[in-house]
A and B are shown apart, each in its own frame.
Chain A
């Protein structure tokens, strides 16, 4: 799960990312000293960060190309968005495939959504239910907008990690996509509200 800002120009800043399982690397052969283990972990972490950055860049370019093709007006990144306006924004949605070896070792599918200058992406295995992923992403973005006041000027979304985590832990526990009907969603919403405002 990746949250990023599609800033003007070349800017593409990864705001937040969550991965539920590290990519399986071949384990160390034999026993390794603590220093070697530490080095391996650092490399793994670096690799993971770079992979996420690469996905973010690709999401940004997909989004821009898609908006260009649909001839949507380029959002004015500097303008002030009031709360009412924020609620009525349209969500751009798209999907692309990352072949095996491109960024990740295995083939993955990336579903993305974008509102003005913010993008969200869900990185799925190629076997996951794409429609469910799309619905889940839309639902999560809705909660993000609600609880994080994302588009309103001056908001420090980078600091509101606890809310982001709460939303993700409720609706994507351990990265599991769930088939939620309206009543399951309602129950989970109540749980979410309870945990945020405790």
Chain B
């Protein structure tokens, strides 16, 4: 168990002083000098590795110990553990001026492997990498296939491709391509014979057996990595290594033209090339190495796909078959992108594969490269791919949302191809309820990807439904949990039809017919069945037992940010009617949210800020939605549950309920709002004898007062009523019960505001300017015109506000 002792070791390693380190190094040098590869040597090397790797800053080791390491690495008889440790230490410490490594004279494969791993890990200059590369290539050329060791060279080459693919010139590329062709296609089909079998005097062993397939049958065609043999020959190893790196190779060097690194961009081709279709492969001997390699890789992939149909005896081989299928289809896709003439040969293969795997959910991850292939090439092949997209978007999410690897890969696929899917695949947008299931179940892992994906899913006709779905994401998580639990529960499978029985938990509710339609709605696979359901509150209630589950809470935390993303996208294309509907949804849902405490607060915070954004975009909405807003404001309970949101609504009313924003605004409407808000303020400030007086934040009170004043300034008959109200504020706050609830600062704030507003309203024309800022406040006229200029107005206001309170207002 990793614990205190290891912590101590690491700490000690970090704290080793330089002089101790020097002494230690000289001891090691002596040991290595004498070739004493005993336990002490190994232990010391282990400790030294810990010392040099445990600190963030590098440690310098003396030159002689470094050189000793180098020479030990080149000493063939040194034991493996010592070699491994020397190379690890050098890797940590280099690059450094005391030692430069080169592997030009090294011919032993293992040594070359260790040395090159140090060189390549250093971030070396191109020159060093080039040296390693050319040495490796030289050895690959020179080596006879039968002798051991070449297989250790290919991974080195593969790593070089990662770091600096451009250092290989055309000639080298062609040479390696030829070798790859040999290894991939013409490896031996007989099992190897182990070197140590028998000896000189033992009878000749039987003839080497043939290679087998994964299901035990004798291999019918050329050797691939899915061929089984108890002992492999060198070229068979090279076959496996070649395939492991062939994708990288083709990506670097496979495009038409010289050394193209972005070969996976779709190449622009004339239609003349596409019209040349050959049904069979042309005589391969006449083709240049690059094209030949492509051809052979194509054949290899075909063979792998065919071999993967066999039922493997060992489980690890079945897993391998899936990984092979994925790689094979990706390679086919790559080959077809590089040379579209392959499309007509590849399509039947891929289509047949799809037929084999579509029914088996264990092959879901293989489906993705297949869909990618269709996405890239179905247009060229004029093949209808509706069915396959439908399968991906309707079946996979609802069955496999809980498999984190499947979820990750599907979401990555959607994200990478979002533009293409959005333009070409109709069912993509409609499937958002299903795609959301991945997020609902695997929120922390997939959340950043959804931020990128969501904008492409939003369309004007589904935006309201998406908004509702986002708000109900945690609810979806809870429903999925309930579904899983009820499926695995041992309760009776009979549908519970007794509606009178009180449902205890969500898993039971899932089986209850009364709740069936609600669950069906929230677990739907396609959009279009309606923006939301009527009895949403019932669903929330019955899922309440899940509200504290970690998975649900994790999902809920992602929602506010996704809402922001949603609104950012929607406001770009939203027109008046849509904005009105959005506001209605905001108003409605502000009190209809799944009961997770922080969740409700955060969502309401988003609602508050987005309401103001929407108002600014489309000011007439206040007037157009006046009925709903009046209803909202009339309910006192709305204040208690969502104070922030409420204050924003009231502020918006005050700001935008005016003729200057909407020509349709009438005096009656202003009066109606006024009366509603006045009644509300009255109710809040009424002093009742009841023991429990809910405390409203001072902000609510001040906002209400200000809004009333604003409305009054636009319809000046209302001014006397407001003034009377405002003058009542002083006795209100000075009442013993109220003044004990609020702090002195708050009380002063309320009083100051009341006084200011009252004074302002005494000068109605000025009040109109100040309290009803019109749209063209940004017009320069307000600042240049000496009669109407803003600075002048402000000076007047200051004088007005700083006057002593009128009689009747004495403190």
Give a binary string over B57-95; 1 marks a CB under 8 Å from any A CB, 0 the rest: 110000000000000000000011110110110000001
Tell me the B126-176 residues at the A interface (CB within 8 Å).
126, 152, 154-156, 158-159, 162-164
**Shortest distance in angstroms between A35's beta carbon and chain B's nearest beta carbon?**
9
A146: CB under 8 A from chain B?
A: no
Q: Does A100 belong to the interface (CB within 8 Å)?
A: no
Residue-by-residue, is B219-256 near A (CB-CB < 8 Å gives 1, otherwise 0)? 00000011111111000010011011101100100000
* A183 engages B232 (CB within 8 Å): yes
Across the interface, A174 reaches (CB within 8 A) one of B158, B314, B412, namely B158
A27 CA to B127 CA, complexed, in Å:
12
> How many interface residues does chain A have, given as a range?
35 or more
When the two chains form their complex, are residues B365 and A176 in contact, meaning their CB atoms are under 8 A apart?
no
Q: How far is the CA of A98 from the CA of B218 in the complex (A)?
A: 45
Asked if A130 and B409 sit within 8 Å, CB to CB, the answer is yes
Distance A132 CA – B240 CA, assembled complex (angstroms)? 14
Query: Given A68-B550, A181-B320, A118 and B2 touching (CB < 8 A)?
Result: yes
Contact check, B163 vs A179: say whether CB atoms are below 8 A apart. Answer: no
Interface: B123 (CB within 8 A): yes
Give chain B's interface secondary structure class: helix
Q: Are B84 and A166 in contact (CB under 8 A)?
A: yes
Q: How far is the CB of B88 from chain A (nearest CB, A)?
A: 5
Residues of A within 8 A of B42 (CB): 162
| Count: A-B pairs, CB below 8 Å | 239
A195 contact set on B, CB distance < 8 A: 80-81, 84
B308 to chain A, nearest CB (A): 12
| Chain A residue nearest in CB terms to B163 | A21
Check A20–B444 contact: CB distance below 8 A.
no
Of the 9-residue stretches B5-13, B644-652, B687-695, which lies at the interface with chain A?
B5-13
Q: Say yes or no: B1 contacts A179, CB within 8 Å.
A: no
Using A41-B58, A77-B3, A96-B445 as known contacts, say yes or no to A178 and B240 having CB atoms under 8 A apart.
yes
Residues on the B chain within 8 Å of A27, using CB: 125-126
The answer to whether A41 and B1 have CB atoms under 8 Å apart is no
Report whether A62 and B409 are in contact in the complex, using a CB–CB cutoff of 8 Å.
no
Q: Could you say which residues of chain B place their CB within 8 Å of the CB of A178?
A: 240-241, 244
In the bound complex, what is the Cα–Cα distance between A162 and B80 (angstroms)? 8
Point out the residues of chain A lying under 8 angstroms from B214, CB to CB: 181
Give the Cβ gap from A172 to chain B, nearest Cβ, in Å: 9
> In the complex, what distance in Å separates the CA atom of A157 from the CA atom of B152?
28
B549 to chain A, nearest CB (A): 7
| Bound: A19/B319 CA distance, A | 26
User: Smallest distance from the beta carbon of A3 to chain B beta carbons, Å?
Assistant: 10
Inter-subunit contact A38/B155 (CB<8 Å)? no
Inter-subunit contact B240/A187 (CB<8 Å): no
- A27 to B164 Cα, complex, angstroms: 13
Q: Are B244 and A176 in contact (CB under 8 A)?
A: yes
Q: Which chain B residues lie closer than 8 Å to A5 at the CB level?
A: 2, 6
**Distance in Å from the Cβ of A69 to the closest Cβ of chain B?**
4
How many angstroms between the C-alpha atoms of A96 and B43 in the bound complex?
Answer: 37
Known: A20-B159, A129-B327. A154 touches B448 (CB 8 A): no
The verdict on B667 contacting chain A, using a C-beta distance below 8 Å, is no
B79 touching A176, Cβ below 8 Å? no
Decide if A81 touches B56 in the complex (CB within 8 Å). Answer: no
Q: Mark interface residues in B178-216 (1 if CB within 8 Å of A CB, else 0).
A: 000000000000000000000000000000000000100
A34 is an interface residue with CB less than 8 A from chain B: yes
Decide if B97 touches A34 in the complex (CB within 8 Å). Answer: yes
Query: Which residue of the partner chain, among B1, B79, B404, contacts A153 with CB atoms under 8 Å?
Result: B1
- Contacting residue for B6 out of A95, A99, A156, CB 8 A: A156
Residue in contact with A198 in the complex, picked from B79, B244, B408, CB distance below 8 Å: B79
What's the minimum C-beta distance from B450 to chain A, rounded to whole angstroms?
Answer: 12
Interface residues of A in 133-181 (CB under 8 A from B): 134-135, 150-163, 165-166, 169, 173-181
Contact of A97 with B412 at beta-carbon distance under 8 Å, contacts A25-B123, A69-B551 already known: yes
- Residue pair B550, A161 in contact (C-beta under 8 Å): no
Which chain A residue shows the least CB distance to B87?
A165
Q: In the complex, which of the residues A41, A180, A183 contacts B230, with contact meaning CB atoms closer than 8 Å? A: A183
In contact, B96 and A181 (Cβ under 8 angstroms):
no
A178 vs B245: C-alpha distance when bound (angstroms): 8
Q: Which of A45, A179, A187 contacts B323 (CB 8 A)?
A: A179
Distance between Cα atoms of A16 and B231 in the complex (Å): 34
> What CA separation (Å) do A121 and B159 show in the bound complex?
19
What 1/0 mask marks residues of chain B from 398 to 421 whose CB sits below 8 Å from any chain A CB? 000000110011001000000000
B339 near A: Cβ within 8 Å?
no
> Are B320 and A45 in contact, with the CB atoms below 8 A?
no
CB distance from B94 to the nearest CB of A (A): 8
How far, in Å, is B327 (CB) from chain A's closest CB? 5
Q: Does B122 contact A (CB under 8 A)?
A: yes
Contact A97 B448 (CB under 8 A): yes
Which residues does chain B contribute within 8 Å of A19, judged by CB atoms?
121
Q: List the one stretch of B45-53, B370-378, B670-678 in contact with chain A.
A: B45-53
CA distance A173 to B56 in the complex (A): 26
Residues on the B chain within 8 Å of A176, using CB: 154-155, 158-159, 241, 244-245
B409-450 Cβ-contact flags toward A at 8 Å (1 or 0): 100100000000000000000000000000000001100110
Q: Does A91 contact B (CB under 8 A)?
A: no
Neighbouring B residues of A66 by C-beta, 8 Å: 404, 444-445
Given contacts A21-B121, A81-B1, A41 and B365 within 8 Å (CB-CB): no
The answer to whether A134 and B405 touch (CB under 8 A), given A38-B97, A159-B9, is: yes
Would A175 and B159 be within 8 Å (CB), given that A46-B56, A151-B1, A198-B80 are in contact? yes
Q: Does B685 sit at the interface, judged by CB under 8 A?
A: no
Q: A20-B159, A42-B57 are in contact. Are A182 and B405 (CB under 8 A)?
A: no
Which A residues contact B (CB, under 8 angstroms)?
Answer: 5, 7, 13, 15-16, 19-25, 27, 34, 37-38, 41-42, 44-46, 49-50, 61-62, 65-66, 68-71, 77-81, 93-97, 99, 116-118, 125, 127, 129-132, 134-135, 150-163, 165-166, 169, 173-185, 187, 194-196, 198
What are 11 A-B contacts with C-beta separation under 8 Å? A13-B7, A135-B320, A154-B1, A154-B5, A159-B46, A165-B84, A174-B113, A176-B159, A176-B241, A179-B243, A196-B80
> Which B residues lie at the A interface, using CB under 8 A?
1-3, 5-7, 9-10, 42-43, 45-47, 49-50, 53, 56-58, 79-82, 84-85, 87-88, 95-97, 113, 116-117, 120-123, 125-126, 152, 154-156, 158-159, 162-164, 214, 225-232, 237, 240-241, 243-245, 247-248, 251, 314, 316-317, 319-320, 322-324, 326-327, 330, 365, 404-405, 408-409, 412, 444-445, 448-449, 549-551, 554
